[in-house]
């Protein structure tokens, strides 16, 4: 089955799962209320968005300069920068480092780019033990499934389901206390940090001016991942660079607000190389892997280049009516929701992934909340245009031609009214047929009723 058919099958199945939908929608409702309260703490949220968009525009449009500056500054302090054009190259670089260090155990803190390049699978296949240390990521790793959301990887699970999982995988007693569930994971993970030879992290931002990476988190797991093992590897996309250290004054609270509805996340750290002489902690080696993996293809597209401004806050997922109904796994991609539907065709191939541009109601809610003002719904529309240019659908073309003909001719338009009323009579009959609901649009939706009076008829009744 190809990606489009899988998406359609999974999306249809999940849309019919009312329990799942209400779970997600309840969680996201709480987020929305809290986010609005936090956004109001900014003197002017809209002005902050505009400034953030301009900083990212500068960063992305001068990526060549900023990345070189970042690498030079970091290497001057003993860090090592690796450039990976493809996912294969990034995996090979990381595998080479962990093999040279004769590592056995690896601890990771949330690395979305790691999901993108299937890093865990490659490391496990090579015989290394890999443990995710972010609580949500640890839970989904135990379930052998990918994260459900950028920021809330296990938001689709109830306490009871997590308790059952821990009982089965870790042999712990059942509990529905969130504190107790957290303590169970904490006890297991403490031992893993101490045993790990290598810590692998992502990066929320890379600062060109200072050659440092910035990591923002709530659990302290990234700090332990970066500080305890002898070797720290950070894997990040090349678009994460910001020009100046001062830019964090805007981006850190903005990411906390848009991503987790917090004024600022609990832990915000900067890492700028290995342990320096006289320092008591930190890794002996510090590597940064800068991943392209077709980001430069997106950079070469002037129409959609601003999708590289994304700071992965997940706000567009949280307001998307499609995400709220089909959830994160149905997309079949690392990056879900509106931004995932925009960038995945660029990163993984238009041919196989252009169906995602149609996973949108084009309501524009995503564009309205994006803190860096990416015009997401417009890009989805452009994606549809690109998809149809690549593979025209004859009946769609014919249908729009007929529509244009009828809509431009008042006499023909007048005929549609009785036809629409006639079609409405057959609607219950179509709904009652035992056909596959994924194929029959009307089986899972209510058709709007045709109004008893057209506007023209109504107008004629007025003097
Ligand atoms: S596109 Fe905008 S809203 Fe969506 S994850 Fe990226 S920064 Fe956040």
Give the Å distance between the CA of 376 and the centre of ligand 1.
Answer: 9
Give the Å distance between the CA of 9 and the centre of ligand 1.
Answer: 26
Closest ligand 1 atom, residue 258 Cα:
8
Give the Å distance between the CA of 364 and the centre of ligand 1.
Answer: 13
Mean pLDDT of 57-77: 97
Give the Å distance between the CA of 226 and the centre of ligand 1.
Answer: 26
End-to-end CA gap in the chain: 61
Q: Would you give the distance in Å from CA 430 to the centre of its chain?
A: 37
**Ranked by mean pLDDT, which of 2-11, 92-101, 445-454 comes out on top?**
92-101
Closest ligand 1 atom, residue 315 Cα:
3
- C-beta 312 within 6 A of ligand 1: yes
Query: Closest residue (by CA) to atom 8 of ligand 1?
Result: 313
- C-beta 259 within 6 A of ligand 1: no
| CA–CA separation, 95 and 90 (whole Å) | 9
- DSSP, collapsed to helix, strand or coil, labels residue 213 as strand
**DSSP conformational letter for 453:** S
Q: Residue 201: enclosing H or E segment and its boundaries?
A: strand 198-201
| Model pLDDT for residues 27-58, shown as the tens digit of each residue | 888 887 777 777 778 889 999 999 999 999 99
**DSSP conformational letter for 234:** E
Pairing label, strands 205-207, 212-217: antiparallel
Residue to probe by mutation, ligand 1, list 306, 310, 368, most atoms within 8 Å of CB: 310
Per-residue confidence (pLDDT) for residue 431, from 0 to 100 = 66
Query: Closest residue (by CA) to atom 3 of ligand 1?
Result: 370
| Model pLDDT for residues 133-186, shown as the tens digit of each residue | 999 999 999 999 999 999 999 999 999 999 999 999 999 999 999 999 999 999
Give the Å distance between the CA of 165 and the centre of ligand 1.
Answer: 31
- C-beta 339 within 6 A of ligand 1: yes
53-54-55-58 Cα dihedral, nearest 10 degrees: 120
- CB within 8 A of 392, min separation 6: which ones? none
Give the Å distance between the CA of 183 and the centre of ligand 1.
Answer: 32
Closest ligand 1 atom, residue 309 Cα:
7
Query: Closest residue (by CA) to atom 7 of ligand 1?
Result: 310
- DSSP, collapsed to helix, strand or coil, labels residue 98 as helix
Per-residue confidence (pLDDT) for residue 131, from 0 to 100 = 97
CA-to-CA separations, 71 to 87, 99, 230, 246, 453, in angstroms, rounded = 20, 24, 21, 19, 68
Q: At 50, give phi and psi (nearest 5°).
A: -65, -45
Given a cut of 60, is residue 285 above it in pLDDT? yes
CB 248 within 8 A of CB 242: yes
| Model pLDDT for residues 363-415, shown as the tens digit of each residue | 999 999 999 999 999 999 999 999 998 888 898 899 999 999 999 998 998 88
| CA–CA separation, 69 and 58 (whole Å) | 14
In the chain, the percentage of residues whose pLDDT exceeds 70 is 96
Query: Which two three-digit tokens encode residue 412?
Result: 């023909």
Closest ligand 1 atom, residue 150 Cα:
5
Per-residue confidence (pLDDT) for residue 98, from 0 to 100 = 97
65/420: higher pLDDT = 65
Query: Which two three-digit tokens encode residue 181?
Result: 């569930």
For the chain, the average pLDDT equals: 92
58-61-67 Cα angle (round to 5): 90
| Model pLDDT for residues 417-455, shown as the tens digit of each residue | 788 877 777 777 766 666 555 555 666 667 777 787 888
- DSSP, collapsed to helix, strand or coil, labels residue 108 as strand
Given a cut of 80, is residue 197 above it in pLDDT? yes
Query: Does the predicted model carry a pTM greater than 0.85?
Result: yes
Give the Å distance between the CA of 456 and the centre of ligand 1.
Answer: 44
Residue to probe by mutation, ligand 1, list 304, 316, 378, most atoms within 8 Å of CB: 316
| Model pLDDT for residues 297-343, shown as the tens digit of each residue | 999 999 999 999 999 999 999 999 999 999 999 999 999 999 999 99
- C-beta 84 within 6 A of ligand 1: no
Query: Which two three-digit tokens encode residue 229?
Result: 């093992």
- C-beta 196 within 6 A of ligand 1: no
| CA–CA separation, 343 and 349 (whole Å) | 10
Give the Å distance between the CA of 310 and the centre of ligand 1.
Answer: 5
- C-beta 231 within 6 A of ligand 1: no
Q: Residue 183: enclosing H or E segment and its boundaries?
A: helix 178-195
C-beta atoms surrounding 277 within 10 Å: 5
Per-residue confidence (pLDDT) for residue 448, from 0 to 100 = 74
- C-beta 342 within 6 A of ligand 1: no
Closest ligand 1 atom, residue 259 Cα:
8
């Amino acid at each position: 089955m190809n990606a489009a058919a899988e998406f359609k099958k999974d999306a249809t199945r999940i849309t019919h799962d009312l329990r799942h939908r209400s779970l997600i929608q309840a969680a996201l409702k709480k987020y929305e209320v809290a986010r609005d309260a936090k956004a109001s703490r900014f003197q002017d949220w809209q002005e902050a968005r505009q400034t953030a968009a301009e900083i990212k525009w500068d960063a992305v449009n001068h990526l060549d300069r900023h990345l070189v500056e970042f690498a030079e500054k970091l290497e001057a302090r003993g860090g090592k920068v690796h450039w990976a054009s493809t996912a294969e190259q990034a995996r090979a670089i990381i595998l080479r480092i962990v093999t040279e260090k004769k590592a056995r155990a690896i601890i990771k803190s949330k690395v979305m780019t790691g999901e993108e390049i299937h890093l865990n699978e490659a490391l496990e296949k090579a015989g290394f033990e890999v443990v995710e240390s972010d609580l949500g990521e640890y839970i989904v790793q135990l379930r052998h499934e990918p994260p459900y959301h950028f920021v809330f990887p296990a938001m689709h699970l109830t306490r009871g389901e997590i308790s059952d999982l821990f009982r089965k995988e870790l042999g712990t007693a059942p509990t529905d206390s969130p504190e107790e569930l957290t303590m169970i994971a904490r006890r297991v993970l403490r031992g893993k940090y101490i045993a790990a030879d290598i810590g692998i992290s992502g990066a929320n931002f890379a600062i060109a001016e200072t050659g440092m990476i910035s990591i923002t988190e709530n659990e302290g797991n990234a700090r332990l991942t970066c500080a305890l093992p002898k070797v720290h590897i950070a894997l990040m996309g090349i678009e994460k660079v910001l020009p100046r250290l001062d830019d964090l004054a805007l981006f850190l609270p903005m990411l906390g607000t848009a991503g987790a509805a917090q004024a600022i996340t609990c832990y915000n750290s900067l890492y700028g190389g290995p342990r320096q002489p006289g320092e008591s902690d930190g890794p002996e080696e510090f590597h940064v892997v800068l991943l392209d993996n077709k980001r430069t293809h997106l950079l070469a597209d002037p129409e959609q280049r601003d999708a590289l401004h994304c700071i992965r806050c997940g706000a567009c997922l949280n307001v998307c009516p499609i995400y709220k109904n089909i959830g994160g796994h149905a997309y079949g991609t690392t990056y879900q929701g509106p931004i995932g539907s925009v960038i995945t065709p660029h990163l993984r191939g238009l041919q196989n992934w252009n169906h995602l541009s149609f996973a949108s109601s084009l309501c524009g809610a995503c564009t309205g909340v994006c803190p860096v003002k990416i015009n997401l719904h417009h890009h989805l529309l452009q994606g549809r245009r690109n998809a149809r240019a690549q593979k025209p659908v004859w009946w769609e073309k014919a249908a729009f031609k007929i529509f244009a003909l009828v809509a431009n001719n008042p006499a023909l338009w007048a005929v549609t009214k009785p036809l629409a009323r006639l079609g409405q009579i057959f609607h219950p009959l179509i709904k009652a047929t035992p056909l596959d609901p994924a194929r029959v649009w009307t089986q899972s939706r209510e058709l709007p009723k045709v109004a008893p009076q057209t506007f023209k008829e109504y107008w004629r009744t007025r003097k």
